[in-house]
Chains A and B, each alone.
Chain A
Amino acid sequence: MFLQVVVSGIVVGCVYGMAALGFTIVYNATKIINFANGEFMMLGGVLLAGLVAAAKVPIPVGILAAIAGCALVGWVLQRGVLDGARNSDPLTLVMLTIGSALALRGAAALAFGRDVSFVPEFGVLPLVLLGNVYIPSQGLWIIMVLVVVSAALWYVFSRTMLGKAMRAASQEPRAAALCGIEPRRTAALAMIMAGSIGGLAGAMLAPMSAAFYENGIFLGLKGFAAAVAGGLGNPLGAVVGGLLIGLVESLTSGFVASGFKDAVSFMLLILVLILRPQGLVGKAVVRRV
């Protein structure tokens, strides 16, 4: 029983980890907390459900379309909304991303309806039985995707010029600008990456927990919780944080009361923000007066 709960915690945690990754990439590139990040995941799920169920598109094509759609939305969000307010105060930026989240949610409801929709499992992979612990096939898919995404991101950020440029732009924006790295371009790239990862994560999650236009709020908050727990801005921390939040949730619903699982991870977010804003693993930073 305990191990089974842990396994499902890890599976959900992988999804949260992906949510946190998108959020971290954007934060690193622009220092913006993207409150619309959860909507990427919602869109990924709703798009896949719409394409597969209504338009009878094969699942792999549907997933690619969901990723592409969310990437496009990310690009529009950055270029159309956030670029125009790069020097605004945090409240304005927060409100802008919340406004975008509302608009996306509304658009999804208009386009795909207000009903919960379902997507069949991807299949192909078997259901694994280890001792008396089941790993569902969709769970295996999710774990694999997280591994692939993390490896790809690691490669991009540490081995390619593009990734190095993005890192430089976030750490030394002025020096980077002098070297011809344009902050607007890296910001747009970051948002496109966050969109794709969010879309993919949402699509992966859809067979396990149905797609619904209002999913974005809570998925977004879980992603934030994961990113903050792992230390804001740290991609590895984001993944670890995601797993942690997933485990905590799964344990709560397994052993306390399933209705309270969301409340527990949100409380965790609040506590980490207040008590350890540098994350559960990070080092303290000195504040300048």
Chain B
Amino acid sequence: MTLHKTSRLRRDWQILALVAALLALVEFCVSSQFHRSVIILSMIHSVAAVGLTLLVGYAGQVSLGHGAFVGIGAYTVAFCLQRLGLPVVFALAAAVVLPGILGFLIARPILRLSGHNLALGTLALGAVFYVVAAQVRDVTGGLDPGIVDLPSMAFAGLAHERVVFWLSIFALCLAAAIAASIVDGRFGRGLMILRSSELVAECIGMNTARAKSMIFAVSASLAGLSGGLLALYLRSFNASAFGVGLSIELLMMVIVGSLSTIWGAMFGSFAIIVLPNLLEGFDQAKQVVYGVAMILIMLFAPNGLGETLFRVFTFRRKSA
């Protein structure tokens, strides 16, 4: 029985410990302000991408609107800090809970759609959020000025960036732990069945409508957490950060990483955040490169680039 790795959970926890240790090490070693910010942004986006992997990769329900939940998380944090004067911990908790509840409520009607209709519906949902966020100026500040001057996170002699770095490590590990214990348990197996056939999932006793709502809610919560952290880190932002572009970037992160393991999302986020910063003059050609990369990946590695590379690599080693 042990031969077949009945519990992948143990392995996933080992990976998690490794990732946490690595990130902590990086925190101590990185001196450049620029490198630090790239890594922080990668981690923050990873949190949302891990959640989206659960929804798209495991449950097979595509969402082109998750940028909206990131936005809701960000505005929740801003509102809690600026208007309600709550401590950061509560603000972040609210940024997890509120998108989760909204996600759960929206999921039931929206997940009655499937295939390209679901893609269309979620895309439209994300666009609605963007329009509303840009218009409801008394909460969001609209496009100009947006939210400005959130408090600095500097704490006990640690600079703002360092505190956010540690917060992000913590959030990312939390997200990964949650995702791992979901996918490696019976609920995760049920989701994988559901991805292939809703009929079969019903017939093994899974309440598919509820399961889909729950996983949508979890992914919305993680997107909210990611948005909350983003707000804390940036301190000033506006609605344009949460448009359709963000939703597509999140989905790209999942696809560049892997559709079948939660660890791919980290690789994907890192790739999507780092790439534009590495190539000289890349910003100009950013969208073209993204678009072409997306086409090539979907044509030649539809399971995710990270996963395909990993397979090729391990296969080479085995056969060598």
Residues of A near any B CB (own CB < 8 A): 32-33, 35, 81, 84-85, 88, 90-96, 98-107, 109-110, 217-218, 221, 224-225, 228, 257, 259-260, 262-263, 266-267, 269-270, 273-274, 277, 289
Contacts and interface: CB of A to CB of B under 8 A. Distances in A.
A109 B64 CA distance: 23
Interface string B88-123: 000000000000000000000110110111011101
A270 B294 contact: no
B127 interface: yes
B121 A273 contact: yes
A33 B116 contact: yes
Given A88-B302, A92-B302, A274 B110 contact: yes
A81 B123 CA distance: 22
A93 B121 CA distance: 16
A257 B119 CA distance: 28
A85 B284 CA distance: 29
A259 B124 contact: no
Interface string B245-278: 0001001000100000000000000000000000
Contacts of A104: 291
B119 A259 contact: no
B291 A95 contact: no
A259 B302 contact: no
B298 A95 contact: yes
Contacts of B299: 81, 84-85, 96
Majority DSSP secondary structure for residues of B touching A? helix
A99 B295 contact: yes
A228 B124 CA distance: 12
Given A110-B285, A266-B131, A81 B120 contact: no
Contact of A270 (B60, B116, B121): B121
A270 B124 contact: yes
Contact of A33 (B120, B127, B284, B288): B120
B255 A260 contact: no
Contacts, number: 128
A270 B298 contact: no
Contacts of B128: 263, 266-267, 270
Contacts of A110: 284-285, 288
Interface residues of B, number: 43
Contacts of B135: 257, 259-260, 263
Among B121, B125, B284, B289, which residue has the most Cβ atoms of chain A within 10 A?
B121
Nearest to B125: A270
B112 A94 contact: no
Among A221, A267, A270, which residue has the most Cβ atoms of chain B within 10 A?
A270
Given A99-B292, A221-B127, 7 more contacts: A96-B294, A103-B287, A103-B290, A103-B292, A110-B285, A270-B121, A270-B125
B142 to A, nearest CB: 9
Contacts of B229: none
A260 B62 contact: no
A262 B291 CA distance: 25
B199 A274 contact: no
